[in-house]
C-alpha cells in the first residue's frame, strides 16, 4: 500500500520536505521500511445475505428510539 509521500508528485515531494522542515526543524527522511502497525483485510458479504439482513424488521418500536411518545 502506498504511503502519503509515495502519492505525491516530484514537486509535491519537494514541497513536503520544505513544509516538514519548517514545522519540525528536521530534515525529512523517508522511512526505510513500512512501519504501519495496522493492516485491514476486508471481507465482502454475499449479496443474498445482505438482502436478508436488510429485510429483517428491527426488534424495537419507534417510541424506544424517541420518535414517538
Domain ranges for the chain: 1-30
pLDDT at 19: 93
Contact 34, 3 (CB under 8 A): yes
Q: What is the pLDDT of residues 7-57, one digit of tens each?
A: 889 899 889 999 999 999 999 888 777 777 777 788 888 899 989 988 988
Of the pLDDT bands very low, low, confident and very high (cuts 50, 70, 90), residue 61 is low
pLDDT at 24: 93
Amino acid at each position: 500500500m502506498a504511503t502519503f509521500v509515495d502519492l505525491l508528485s516530484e514537486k509535491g515531494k519537494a514541497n513536503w520536505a520544505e513544509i516538514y522542515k519548517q514545522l519540525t526543524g528536521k530534515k525529512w527522511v523517508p522511512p526505510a521500511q513500512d512501519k504501519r502497525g495496522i493492516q485491514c483485510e476486508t471481507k465482502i458479504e454475499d449479496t443474498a445475505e445482505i438482502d436478508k439482513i436488510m429485510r429483517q424488521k428491527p426488534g424495537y418500536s419507534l417510541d424506544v428510539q424517541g420518535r414517538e411518545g
